[in-house]
Structure 1
Amino acid sequence: MAHVGKRLKKVYEGLDTEKAYTIEEAVKLIKSHATAKFDETIEIAVNLNIDPRKADQNLRGVVQLPHGTGKTYRVAVFAKGPKAQEALEAGADIVGAEDLAEKIQAGDIQFDRCIATPDMMGVVGRVGRILGPRGLMPNPKLNTVTMDIANVVKAVKGGQVEYRAEKAGIVHSGVGKASFSEQALVENIAAYMDAIQKAKPTGVKGTYVKSLSLGSTMGPSVKFNIESK
């Protein structure tokens, strides 16, 4: 039998890994076990009955969490003229056009999300091979190709979360920090799950959400009850 270290034993102390807790119980347990020296991210994993290989089941979207994520996002915007000014006034960290594309081509990618006005997609396309693999390519489905620059920048800065199904049909995202109150985390999780439910592909038959789990960066994870969301 493999040796179980003291830290691992302590991490799972008081947890039943087979039990499906309520959201409130899960949040309380995960918060109490997030004992790292930094503010751990609370993460949700949703196992869905989907096949992401099918175009209509390749689940991807964004959701606005009512209490934000606790993370500061650096936002880059491809825009010119009044829209560039609008982006700056809304709080964008980097704004540009051809000059921004040149920075990206040179490996200067100091941002977490990228937004573009539709007229700039020709320029963005030049660096698509760089942005795409990093998950940074502006996409109409994520509302990151838009003329509503100010509101989208504010939404991203205010705690908008992107979700995307992996090959096995699992979607996972950060839904807050261990320092958040239990109520704030519960409300963030409820908003996240509401978005996932609304995004259910029409071709899915039977149970859509197979299982849910909640964990933290350095801590354990526990299952929680689907009906309790």
Structure 2
Amino acid sequence: MAFVGKRLKKAYTGVNRDKAISLTDAVKLIKAGATAKFDETIEVAMNLGIDPRHADQNVRGVVQMPNGTGKTVRVAVFAKGDKADEAKKAGAEFVGGDDLADQITGGMMDFDRVIAAPDMMMVVGKLGKVLGPRGLMPNPKLGTVTPNVAQAVKDAKGGSVEFRAEKAGIIQAGIGKASFSEEALVGNITAFIQAIAKAKPAGAKGTYIQKISISSTMGPGVKVDPSTVTL
């Protein structure tokens, strides 16, 4: 049997892992149990009634967290001329073209998001084998291929969260920090779930949102009753 420390035992206090409760009550429990020595990330996991192996059942997109994520996001932008200047002013850590591509090919991966102006996709396309497996390849559907690179940089740093269903139809993402207020976390989680609901694919049959749970980095998961979330 795995060893369970005092901190984790305390975190489990009051948590019935088999019972789904309201979102508000779940957030209260998660915050109370997030007692690690660092600011734990609050994560949401959702089981969807889809089969991502079918093209008409893919769920992917991006949603802006109304209260930010509490995470520092480092951005690389492929742009030139005025757009490159705009990206730098917006706060992008890395901006360039072929020179930036060469750095990435050489192993430089000190960024969390990649944004590209449409006219730079010929350059970015060559990095598919490097960026693709890491989920960093720019995509118009995610707003990371756009003529407005400055706004995309601001959105990324302001709290945009990308989501994509895994093979088992599970979506998970970090949406905030334990130090956030209950109201801020409820607002972020609601925005995330609403975005998933709106992204329901035409090929999905039966119950779409099957399970929702939230947890902190070092704490137990708490099931959320989907009916308590405003969609």
Query: Normalising by structure 1, what TM-score?
Result: 0.97
Per the alignment, residue 63 of structure 2 pairs with 63
Q: CA deviation at 1:202?
A: 1.2
SS of structure 2 residue aligned to 1:89: helix
CA distance in 1, matches of 2:60, 2:108: 27
Per the alignment, residue 54 of structure 1 pairs with 54
SS of structure 1 residue aligned to 2:211: strand
Q: CA deviation at 1:127?
A: 1.5
SS of structure 2 residue aligned to 1:196: helix
Alignment of 1:53-132 (within 5 A): 53-132=53-132
CA distance in 1, matches of 2:92, 2:71: 15
CA distance in 2, matches of 1:227, 1:11: 25
SS of structure 1 residue aligned to 2:51: coil
Maintained 8 Å contact 2:67/2:184 = yes
CA distance in 2, matches of 1:125, 1:185: 37
Q: CA deviation at 1:3?
A: 5.7
Q: CA deviation at 1:118?
A: 1.0
Q: Deviations over 1:37-81 (max 9, x none)?
A: 000000000100011001121211100010011001000000000
Alignment of 1:1-229 (within 5 A): 2=1, 5-7=4-6, 8-229=8-229
SS of structure 1 residue aligned to 2:42: strand
Q: Deviations over 1:131-165 (max 9, x none)?
A: 11111111111111110111111111100000010
Q: Which runs of 5 or more residues in structure 2 are unaligned?
A: none
Q: CA deviation at 1:89?
A: 1.2
Letter in 2 for 1:72: T
CA distance in 2, matches of 1:3, 1:215: 19
Over 6 Å off, 4+ runs? none
SS of structure 2 residue aligned to 1:144: coil
Letter in 2 for 1:188: N
SS of structure 2 residue aligned to 1:211: strand
CA distance in 2, matches of 1:145, 1:16: 44
Q: CA deviation at 1:125?
A: 1.4
Q: Which runs of 5 or more residues in structure 1 are unaligned?
A: none
CA distance in 1, matches of 2:160, 2:38: 22
Q: CA deviation at 1:171?
A: 0.3
Q: CA RMSD in A?
A: 1.0
Query: Normalising by structure 2, what TM-score?
Result: 0.96
Maintained 8 Å contact 2:11/2:32 = no
CA distance in 1, matches of 2:172, 2:4: 27
CA distance in 1, matches of 2:83, 2:198: 31
CA distance in 2, matches of 1:83, 1:4: 54
CA distance in 1, matches of 2:129, 2:4: 43
How many pairs align?
228
